[in-house]
Amino acid sequence: MDWKLILKSAKRKIEFLGYLIEEGTIRLSPSKTTAVQNFPQPKNVKQMQSFLGLTEYFRKFVPSYSKIAKPLSDMLRNDAKFEFRPMQRQAFDRLKELLCQSPVL
């Protein structure tokens, strides 16, 4: 079978599963960076789960992700009261900052 596949050497990057892959590097795609950057402060458990799900998918770009995200994930425990205090705000802002710095693997 002849599939007539053509390699275009000028195109050396691809966006795949939320990642931008090019010339030996992997980074977050611009659409995912924008999604993280524009994510509003969670007001309930469901929104916190959504934020942590988004950021956890890209945890390899954040050194000590678990340590930084702990104040947020602790809010998801059954016995925890959902209160967004300064410690949670700091963790939320730090995760957004680290993921929006255009990290590269």
Spell out the domain ranges in the chain: 3-101
Topology of domain 3-101, CATH: Alpha-Beta Plaits (3.30.70)
Contacts of 24 (CB under 8 A, 6+ apart): none
Residue 3 pLDDT > 70: no
Could you tell me the two tokens for 86?
């300064």
How far is residue 55's CA from residue 91's CA, in Å, rounded to a whole number?
12
Task: State yes or no: pLDDT of 32 exceeds 80.
Answer: yes
pLDDT in tens, 49-102: 999 999 999 898 889 999 999 999 999 988 888 899 999 999 999 999 999 886
Of residues 94 and 21, which shows the higher confidence score? 94
Q: Which of 88, 94, 91, 90 is nearest to 43 (CA)?
A: 88
Q: What radius of gyration, in Å, describes the C-alpha atoms of the chain?
A: 18
70: its two tokens: 């702990």
3-state secondary structure (DSSP) of residue 23 = coil
Q: What is the pTM of this model?
A: 0.80
